[in-house]
Amino acid sequence: MLATAIAVLGTLLGTVVAGAFQQKSASRAATAAATEQLRRERLAAVTELAAAAADHQLAMWMRGEAQFSGATPERVEELRSIAHATRSAITRPLVAVQVLIPDPTVRAAAHDMVAATYWMRDADTSTEALVAAQTEARASHDRFVDAAAAYLTTA
């Protein structure tokens, strides 16, 4: 009888221990999956913001170039509309970066990139001013990508 009781207790204890290990393993797997999902969302936000900024830089360049080359007012207005659309496309990924990435360096680089891209609008005095604004926008784009890459490889 004592042997039976010990066997039953041993079986119950083994079941409890195995259940605890399974629960801990499942918890680790869920944590790893959540971490990987967050990493993918951060990467997507960074990629979308970088692409949206590059699209807006191109649109602003084309608009400015059209103004300086004497394009028709209709063409300039068409390019202005495209620039408005590309500027609007920056908002969602910028918010995603700000929400998903707490690193102040990445957030500042994102802000600087977007600001430099928007400042291309003010470079409507000469081709030289437009080239200088585009150069700064591209450099700020590269700084954002570098900061985001550094963060994402360590996060």
pLDDT in tens, 68-126: 999 999 999 999 999 999 999 999 999 999 999 999 999 999 999 999 999 999 887 89
Look at the chain and count its residues. 155
48-74 confidence digits (pLDDT tens): 999 999 999 999 999 999 999 999 999
CB 93 within 8 A of CB 48: yes
State residue 147's pLDDT score.
98
State residue 2's pLDDT score.
75
Q: How large is the average pLDDT for residues 113-142?
A: 94
Alpha-carbon distance of 3 to 117, in angstroms, equals 79
Domains of the chain: 39-154 (1.20.120)
